[in-house]
Amino acid sequence: MTDRALAVVRAGALTTVQDLGRPGHAHLGVPRSGALDPSAARLVNRLVGNADGAAVLETTLNGCAVRPRCAVTAAVGGAPCAVTVDGRPAAWGAPVRVPAGAVLEAGPAVSGLRSYLGFAGGIAVDAVLGSRSADLLSGLGPPPLSEGSVLPLGTPRGPSPAQPDAAPWPGPPAELVLRIRLGPRDDWFTPEAPAALASGAYRVSSASNRIGLRLEGPPLRRAVTAELPSEGLVLGAVQVPPDGRPVVFLADHPTTGGYPVVAVVDERDLPAAAQARPGAPVRFVPAVRPSHSSGRRHSSGRRLDSRGRLDSRGGHGSRGGHGSGGP
Amino acid sequence: MRVLPMGDRALLVELADAAEAQALHAELLRRRAAGSLPPVREIVPAARTVLLDGLDDPAALARQLPQWAVPPLSAAAQEVIEIPVRYDGPDLAAVAACWRTSEEEAIRIHAAAEYRVAFCGFAPGFGYLTGLPEQYAVPRRPTPRTSVPPGSLALAGPYTGVYPRSSPGGWQLIGTADTVLWDPAREPAALLTPGARVRFTVERR
């Protein structure tokens, strides 16, 4: 076996291989998948001299530890955490040289949820439909890391940037604020639904995972009780199952579903949603409509993060509960 | 046709029925192939909608769509995918009883119909096939099975489907196919893509 590989020493609660996903296959029932915090994944790739789309490790809450068989440049970003090499403190958000056989550890997230580990050359598992991402809904891509498993590394394309980017991490705000645009099925709910969403009475549920951010709080009541035939879903769709508690769909969301979507969250707010811990308060606010002429979206938003606790794992095959029409 | 915005980058186009949705989906694919559709990342047909996701200017397309002349689906000049099936499923008797006929006749009815993949979902490569006459719709099983074998030919509501791999499932299982429905190394990975025509041929038990 080649020396360009990582051995998994501590897998953590849930660590997966992610790149920027496999969009373009939704009509075949294939979720887009990919890093839940793509800006963090891009950043760690830039720090080690990779292209943006190289595959990285995405951890959940308590980090992970790996032992490269070769000397490699690595970087840890996303949710801030202690970084060590063979137990000695190393930099977070900056390139770190890891000697062959040393253990690189990303500790538990200090705030946020998901840290990203990038390696020069990227994680070189086989691509499926053009992506190396683990898709926890469909089981496509590599399985979540387990202790003792070995991941191949690609060939670095050159030296790391001499002046690496900074790795900003705004402090967690008191509340996760998600900008939404109502529809397409807001008329399936009572007129009180928008006010309920804006009330700030929701909290992130510990049942959240890569498929969706599940919320606890006041149930949204249906005005139309008919069964909705399955229809296509988008990233950020706020779907309302029969219990009335909204689910914000993240990267591993099903491609179709049979429960009504009351609103869609602005894609720029989803990384913050993916970093929100269970218990974090959530409020939905109306998004400013995009201007017609420029095709650009408004840019008043700021990056928001959240705090709380999490112990959830994304599970394989958790297809149930996204719609009434599933086989 | 009703065109509903879905976030800032997508349109959900709602049609009167499945046939209209399939016809619009076919027209969208024709226009995309001809280069006359603005760039779009996903075209996702479903029961009676078509989702267009990843549009730069959804409002512009939303204004144009209702003016399109969408021809009805035609079966002409399109290849039919044949899937050999052993009609040996554990729910065949129940389905025959629901149809008030014998198992032999139920097999004849199912294999005589011509199907079309209305849409995919549930799992990669799982197609929802329409084409069975309306009076043969069957309910889902009251209790889903925890594990359905791959290749199971199944019915629920107006749909026929074949499970691409082992999974939980609540549909009525009437047969088994050996055809590989999903292979990520193949192009396309899914044998049954939306719009495809399908026939089931009877293999001896």
> Which candidate from A26, A140, A261 shows the least CB-CB separation from B42?
A26
> Which candidate from B4, B44, B53 shows the least CB-CB separation from A183?
B4
Cross-chain residue pair A27–B171, CB shorter than 8 Å: no
Q: Is the pLDDT of residue B78 over 60?
A: yes
- H/E stretch holding A193 reads helix A193-198
For B:130-149, CB contacts with A below 8 A are 148
pLDDT at A288: 73
Question: Which residues does residue A117 pair with via DSSP β-bridges, in sequence order?
Answer: A57, A76
pLDDT at A266: 97
Cross-chain residue pair B5–A184, CB shorter than 8 Å: yes
Cross-chain residue pair B119–A327, CB shorter than 8 Å: no
- Give B86: exposed, middle or buried? Use CB within 10 Å, 0-12, 13-18, 19+: middle
Q: Is the pLDDT of residue A320 over 80?
A: no
Cross-chain residue pair A229–B47, CB shorter than 8 Å: yes
In this predicted model, what pLDDT tens digit does every residue of A239-265 receive, in sequence order? 999 999 999 999 999 999 999 999 999
In this predicted model, what pLDDT tens digit does every residue of B171-181 receive, in sequence order? 999 999 999 99
> Which candidate from B5, B56, B128 shows the least CB-CB separation from A295?
B56
Cross-chain residue pair A29–B120, CB shorter than 8 Å: yes
- Angle, CA A136 vertex, CA A134 and CA A140 arms, to 5°: 50
Q: Is the pLDDT of residue A107 over 60?
A: yes
Phi-psi group of B122: left, alpha or beta (phi > 0 → left; psi -120 to 50 → alpha; rest → beta): left
Chain B residue with the nearest C-alpha to that of A239: B6
pLDDT-based confidence at A317, cuts 50/70/90?
very low
Q: What is the mean pLDDT of residues A146-164?
A: 83
Residues of A with CB under 8 A from a CB of B: 23-30, 128-129, 138, 140, 181, 183-184, 229-234, 236-237, 254-256, 261, 264-267, 287, 290, 292, 295, 297, 317, 319-320, 325-327
Q: What is the mean pLDDT of residues A145-159?
A: 92
Q: What is the mean pLDDT of residues B71-98?
A: 91
Q: What is the mean pLDDT of residues B44-53?
A: 97
Look up the pTM and report it: 0.90
Q: Which residue has the tokens 């249906």?
A: A222
Chain B residue with the nearest C-alpha to that of A290: B8
Residues near A92 by beta carbon (within 8 Å), at least 6 away in sequence: A76, A77, A80, A81, A82, A83, A167
Cross-chain residue pair B123–A266, CB shorter than 8 Å: no
Residues of B in contact with A237 (CB under 8 A): 6-7
Three-state DSSP class for residue A286? strand
pLDDT at A174: 75
Q: Does B41 contact A at CB distance below 8 Å?
A: yes
Cross-chain residue pair B119–A26, CB shorter than 8 Å: no
Least confident of A35-49, A195-209, B69-83: B69-83
Gap between the Cα atoms of A3 and A24, Å rounded: 34
pLDDT-based confidence at A161, cuts 50/70/90?
low
In this predicted model, what pLDDT tens digit does every residue of A87-98 receive, in sequence order? 999 999 999 999
CB atoms within 10 A of CB A223: 12
Q: Is the pLDDT of residue A297 over 60?
A: no
Residues of A in contact with B42 (CB under 8 A): 23-24, 26-27, 232
Q: What is the mean pLDDT of chain A?
A: 88
Gap between the Cα atoms of A80 and A108, Å rounded: 8
pLDDT-based confidence at B76, cuts 50/70/90?
low
Residue B61, phi then psi, degrees to nearest 5: -65, -35
Q: Which residue has the tokens 């199907």?
A: B115
Cross-chain residue pair A327–B122, CB shorter than 8 Å: yes
Residues of A in contact with B148 (CB under 8 A): 327
Q: What is the mean pLDDT of residues B144-163?
A: 96
For B:60-99, CB contacts with A below 8 A are none
pLDDT at B187: 87
Q: Is the pLDDT of residue A163 over 70?
A: no
Best residue in A25, A28, A140 for a mutation probing chain B (most B CBs within 10 Å): A28
pLDDT-based confidence at B79, cuts 50/70/90?
confident
Q: Is the pLDDT of residue A292 over 50?
A: no
For B:92-131, CB contacts with A below 8 A are 119-126, 128
Q: Is the pLDDT of residue B193 over 60?
A: yes
> Which candidate from A236, A255, A264 shows the least CB-CB separation from B121?
A255
Q: Does B39 contact A at CB distance below 8 Å?
A: no
Q: Does B184 contact A at CB distance below 8 Å?
A: yes
